[in-house]
Structure 1
Amino acid sequence: MSEDFSSPQLINEFDDEMASNGNDNNGSSHSMAKDSTRVLKDILAGTCGGISQVIVGQPFDTTKVRMQTSAKSVGALDIIRKLVKNEGVWAFYKGSLIPIVGVGACVSVQFGVNEAMKRFFREWNTSRGTQHRDGTLQLGQYYICGLTGGVVNSFLASPIEHVRIRLQTQTGNGNEREFKGPLDCIRKLVKEKSLMRGLRPMMLRAGHGLGCYFLTYEALIANEIKKGKDRSEIASWKLCSYGSLSGVVLWLAIYPLDVVKSMIQTDTLRNPRFKNSMKNVINHLYREQGISAFFKGFAPTMLRAAPVNGATFVTFELVMRLLG
């Protein structure tokens, strides 16, 4: 995933909603305007966090993709050495323009769907009069919120990642390159009716991944709240640490799916070997390289998870503070 996954909100919005109950119509209108403003702030802060995520994580991601799609097992250091020698240091940022440009739209979808699902579950819990009748969500419901956001966002994230992976894995220079840049890549993928290739594994990866991400984060936050802290009082370094750990859990949960997706999205455009089939990729990888094939590039991905998610949370928080 490119890591097309956004950070959970740092605001205890439910407390804000409870505080606004009982207001008159003017107060209600003011609350609605305030909620709309907060949504815009969330999206802007999340977008900045996503851009920070791409900048910090792109070298790790390029190394990972090269390892995943190599014909034989090869180490990260060997990949890095050859890439720097043959293509230069800036080759680590091949294909980064598309995710940087597209991250705003991705984060908007993730935040919008996730927040809509949170509201749905709050109303559901309140109306049912369960032990969560105060509107708070169960951890399993946070997983469903994240899963839904991931599945919906896949329709946008899948083509963005497809373009990035195509650019990351091409090794030619000048006229030898198959794709002259992001726009040329998009045109050729559309022409071959392949832009959405890899959508199914992306839906599984992003859905389960975001579900695990939000579940882990909210469980850690809930543990702090049990100690008597308000959500807004949790230290920034803890939020960053929780985000980093959540990112590690995410990749542990979905890594083999990411390998399968990468193989599908780097298959030949004309007469693809795997026919856009997860089953064909899985059978091929297992037959040729065994179970280890599903963990190629695992080390740089795990190394990437902590700093990338840490950077995302730090950026998110700083922007939220600047916005007030």
Structure 2
Amino acid sequence: MVADSKGKSDISFAGTFAASAFAACFAEICTIPLDTAKVRLQLQKSAVAGDGMAMPKYKGMLGTVSTIAREEGLAALWKGIVPGLHRQCVYGGLRIGLYEPVKNLYVGSDFVGDVPLTKKILAALTTGAIGITVANPTDLVKVRLQAEGKLPAGVPRRYSGALNAYSTILRQEGVGALWTGIGPNIARNAIINAAELASYDQVKETILKIPGFTDNVVTHLFAGLGAGFFAVCIGSPVDVVKSRMMGDSTYKNTLDCFIKTLKNDGPLAFYKGFIPNFGRLGSWNVIMFLTLEQAKKFVRSLESSRA
């Protein structure tokens, strides 16, 4: 479970943090090719060629994955995996690890019964904002590495790797640049975290009240799919703005990016990459929550044996 909706967690914060970080990293490794495809589709802008529109380079999730693999090699699909794992260790551990104690803080120590959905959403918004504020530099580096496609012969890559990206950004752009896009990133991750954790919590709680369902893999699977669906439906617009701001430094601020995207590419641009985004978030949530449930069982047994 993400959390016990009727009481306090039966494992320590350190144990929850470790289980959450492990589950998030495992899901990241499995699904980052879809995330790379999503970022490329989101950053792809409408371009004019002569008197008509140029054909877009990337078309759909599978087409984008195929194009990247063909032009840049299979390894390119895992671009950004190092900062991606950095991000999941920090962000994944904090947003999930803090969810239960923050939820208990909002309902009060004397609360009895099912936690209201509003409190679950508020708790997830809070932990998502805290987690990504700390982890924003890792997100920035991940997006910049994913955004770089195949370069002409003789043209050097902007960054040789994750560590080089961190140091180059610090040296050339300053410390503050590591928090580029922090506004839309907080909005995006707080909203998506609320959609994921609160919906997983609520869907699981609802399923367990149906006769015949128990706290098992099938329940976790349905709850994980529900979490991914709600997350992508609610968070796609801010996700597009976040990716564009991190991938292109010409935008002045969040509002400037939103207005230019709307003006130049239309409202549907905010749902660019929707299918790969759902493929990514849907599969990511299923893998992450299934892994998390098993990891927490392991931690629970480990802590019990040491008690």
Q: TM-score higher than 0.5 here? A: yes
Counterpart in the other structure of 1:116 = 101
Structure 1: 5+ residue stretches without partners = 1-6, 18-34, 127-132
Report how far residue 82 of structure 1 moved: 2.8
Q: Choose which of 128, 153, 157 in structure 2 pairs with 1:177.
A: 157
The one-letter amino acid paired with 1:256 is: P
Please give the alpha-carbon distance, in whole angstroms, between the structure 2 residues aligned to 1:285 and 1:134: 47
Give runs of aligned pairs for residues 121-200 of structure 1, distance below 5 A.
Answer: 121-123=106-108, 126=110, 133-134=111-112, 136-171=114-149, 172=151, 176-191=156-171, 192-193=173-174, 194-200=177-183
Contact 2:28–2:84 (CA<8 Å) still a contact in 1?
yes
Change (3 A) 1:56 1:148: same
Pairwise CA distance, 1:210: 1.3
Aligned to 1:71: 45
Structure possessing the higher radius of gyration over alpha carbons: 1
Per the TM alignment, residue 175 of structure 1 is displaced from its structure 2 partner at its CA by 6.2
The correspondence of residues 1-324 of structure 1 with structure 2, limited to 5 A, is: 8-9=2-3, 12=4, 14=6, 38-72=12-46, 73=56, 74-76=58-60, 77-123=62-108, 126=110, 133-134=111-112, 136-171=114-149, 172=151, 176-191=156-171, 192-193=173-174, 194-227=177-210, 233-268=214-249, 273-275=250-252, 277-323=253-299, 324=301
Amino acid at match of 1:65: V
CA contact (8 A) 1:166 1:265 kept: yes
Name the CA shift for 1:225/1:86 in 2 (closer, same or farther; >3 Å): closer
Give the aligned residue type for 1:281. Answer: C
Match of 2:51 in 1: none
Tell me the distance in 1 between the aligned counterparts of 2:77 and 2:194: 29
Q: Distance in 2 between matches of 1:122 and 1:291?
A: 38
TM-score w.r.t. length of structure 2? 0.84
Question: 1:7-52: per-residue Cα shift (whole Å, max 9, x none)?
Answer: 823xx374578xxxxxxxxxxxxxxxxx5x5333222221221011
% identical equivalent positions: 22
1:202-245: CA deviation from partner (whole Å, max 9, x where unpaired): 11111121112222222223323444789xx4222111220121
Q: Identify the residue that residue 4 of structure 1 maps to in structure 2.
A: none
- Aligned residue number for residue 29 of structure 1: none
Quote the Cα distance in structure 2 between the aligned partners of 1:38 and 1:145. Answer: 18
Regions of 4+ moved over 6 Å: none
Amino acid at match of 1:134: V
Q: TM-score, normalised by structure 1?
A: 0.80
Q: Partner letter of residue 216 of structure 2?
A: A
**Unaligned stretches of 5+ residues in structure 2:** 47-55, 302-307
Q: Is the CA contact 1:224–1:234 (under 8 Å) kept in the aligned structure 2? A: no
